[in-house]
Chains A and B, each alone.
Chain A
């Protein structure tokens, strides 16, 4: 979305856009529409994370999770895994971060093709181990 010079994402009402797309999805429940909705939710997650708007980021991620729960398809899962990866990078040690990281660990092999994919997967595994140790030692 950032590539379009005429479109200023900071002025867009993303919540309204998502709600509209959910309505379209109800009317047209085709897979192609769902994939676009997943892409939009991924973009929203990314935008809110970059803008430090973590509550909205979490809400977009939650919508993406619900979409995947209802339609556990590869294309939606790939967007969910990518959204979780970005959310983990943006939110760091924030509350709820471990659950996102854990789900990302479970979906790590669903991340899209990337020349650094193997390295990214290793980073996720190492981070989960590190954070799990903290969880155990804190209890």
Chain B
């Protein structure tokens, strides 16, 4: 997952857009996966 998040962070340079997109993605993820995703992003 870390590799995927890194790739997305590079592709979407605008931090606000990245966070908004990740917010929508994480809504539908399992809580544990959500937590890991936000750990990787911050």
A interface residues, Cβ below 8 angstroms from B: 102, 106, 128-129, 132-133, 135-137, 139
Given contacts A102-B11, A129-B25, 9 further A-B contacts (CB under 8 A): A106-B12, A128-B21, A129-B21, A132-B25, A133-B28, A135-B4, A136-B25, A137-B33, A139-B1
Chain B interface main SS type: helix
B interface residues, Cβ below 8 angstroms from A: 1, 3-4, 8, 11-12, 21, 24-25, 28-29, 33, 37
Set of chain B residues within 8 Å of A106, measured between Cβ atoms = 11-12
Set of chain B residues within 8 Å of A139, measured between Cβ atoms = 1, 3-4
Q: Which residue of B is nearest A130, CB measured? A: B28
Report how far A139 CA is from B37 CA in the complex, Å: 12
